[in-house]
Structure 1
Amino acid sequence: MLLELRDLHVNYGNVEALHGINLTVNEGEIVTILGANGAGKSTTLNSICGLVKASKGEILLDGKPIHTVPAHNIVKLGISQSPEGRRVFSTLTVEENMELGAFTLSDKEKIARNKEWIYDLFPRLLERRGQLAGTLSGGEQQMLAIGRALMSNPRLLLLDEPSLGLAPILVKSIFDTIRKINKRGLTVILVEQNARAALKLADRGYVMEVGNIVLADDADTLLSNPDIQSAYLGGKGH
């Protein structure tokens, strides 16, 4: 098992956002977390990468606790996030954004190889490498956010709403790329509003409601679950 969350609680001030969730991710899997806005999905990702601290419970990577480790050291341990809303550095170029993603690496050859692979995944970024990130389209910024996250050579990639606000053709392209990334050996946790696309891509899924995990199963079972269909998939599955 690569990652395990055990009885994880997270508070924002007096408000408890996560009420003791348990979640596992195995090496090489794509695991999706589904749920409405405010369910606690982003908080879960932010707690894994150290941006918010657990008030109780444990986060284990390879069986070792990481919930007390500072966020920049969690990147060094092999966990990287492409955040919701992309959050690229708008006044820096595509290339500069990518290089910032490699801040934990000192091996220049490895950085160059990573960059080459990412430009191969996203040829549009190669075309735009000298352009300011703030002038890119939404789809290009999403590619850059994922590319920047990959520059640190992660073992576990956290993707928070990668399809949000994108045209359907770009959504398909982003999901195809996530599949390619996974085939290369990366483990992925995918938080996604587009539940059908996420479940078709994932091995397993968790459903969150107001800070609790209410359902966990393999992706095919969740896709055919009538409650999931009515809540997240707009009625009957196709």
Structure 2
Amino acid sequence: MLLNVENLRVHYGNVEALHGINLRVRQGEIVAILGANGAGKSTTLMSISGLLKPSQGRIIFEGQELHKLRAHEIVRLGIAQVPEGRRVFSTLTVQENLNLGAFTVTDEKKIQRTLDWIFDLFPRLKERKEQLAGTLSGGEQQMLAIARGLMADPKILLLDEPSLGLAPILVKSIFETIKEINESGVTVLLVEQNARAALKLAHRGYVMEVGKIVLEDSAKNLLENPEVRKAYLGG
């Protein structure tokens, strides 16, 4: 098992946001976490990447206990998060944003190989590499956010709402790219409100409701599950 989350509890002050969740991600999978706003999906990702500290439970990645490490140490182990809302550095160029993504990588040749691969995945970014990130369209900023995460050469990519606020044609393109990234060997843990698109892409999925996991199954079974269809797929 690449990633194991066991009995994870997280508090915001006195309020418990995660009530003892368990989830697993195997090497090479795309795993989707579905749920309404406030279900605890982003909190789960931020706990894995070390941005939030759990009050209880364990997060194990390749045998290492992540919950005892700081965020920058977790990035070095091979975990990169692409946050919700893109959060690119708007006053820096596309190239400078990508360079920042590679801050934990010391091998110059590896950085160049990753950059070449990213420009193959996102030709638009290559065209705009000297442009300020703040002047890019929403779709281009999402491409840049994903590309910046990939510059860290991750074993697992945590994606938080990659389709948020994008036109349907761009959503299709972003999801096709996520599939390509996965096929190149990067495991993906995906939080996504567009449940249908996420389940068509994923191998397995978890459904979260108010800080708990209420359902776990193959993506195919979740797509066909009447309760999931009614709650998240519009019937």
The normalised TM-score by structure 1 is: 0.98
What root-mean-square deviation, in Å, do the aligned CA atoms of Structure 1 and Structure 2 show? 0.5
Of 168-177 and 58-67, more deviation after overlay is shown by: 58-67
Q: Provide the residue aligned with 1:169 in structure 2.
A: 169
Residue 66 of structure 1: how far off its partner (Å): 1.1
- Cα deviations by residue, 1:148-189 (Å, 9 ceiling, x for unpaired): 000000000000000000001100000000000000011000
Q: Aligned equivalents of 1:117 and 1:69: distance in 2?
A: 30
Question: C-alpha displacement at 1:106, in angstroms?
Answer: 1.1
Q: Higher mean Cα deviation, 51-60 or 62-71?
A: 62-71
| Matched position secondary structure for 1:216 | strand
1:67 counterpart SS class: helix
Counting aligned pairs with the same residue, the percent is 71
* Corresponding residue for residue 118 of structure 2: 118
Matching residue of 1:210 = 210
Q: Deviations over 1:110-158 (max 9, x none)?
A: 1111111001100000010000000000000000000000000000000
Question: What is the aligned partner in structure 1 of residue 82 from structure 2?
Answer: 82
1:148 matched to which residue of 2? Answer: 148
Equivalent in the alignment of 2:5: 5
- Cα separation, 1, equivalents of 2:16 and 2:64: 25
SS for the counterpart of 2:166 is: coil
Cα distance, 1:68 vs. partner? Answer: 1.2
Q: Secondary structure at the match of 1:119?
A: helix
Question: Does residue 61 of structure 2 align to residue 61 of structure 1?
Answer: yes
**CA apart distance, 1:63:** 2.5
> How many residue pairs are counted as aligned between the two chains?
235
Structure 2 portions without partners, runs of 5+: none
Match of 1:99 in 2: 99
User: For each residue in 1:23-59, what CA deviation from the matched residue of structure 2 results, as whole angstroms up to 9, or x when unmatched?
Assistant: 0000000000000000000000000000000100000
**Unpaired segments ≥5 residues, structure 1:** none
SS at match of 2:6: strand
In the alignment, what sits opposite 1:34? 34
1:47 — aligned with what? 47
The alpha-carbon deviation at position 228 of structure 1 amounts to 0.3
Query: For 1:60-89, what per-residue CA distance to the aligned partner results, in whole angstroms no more than 9, with x for missing partners?
Result: 001221111000010000000110000000
Give secondary structure in 2 for the equivalent of 1:234.
coil
SS, match of residue 220 in structure 1: helix
Report the residue type matching 2:38 in the other structure: G
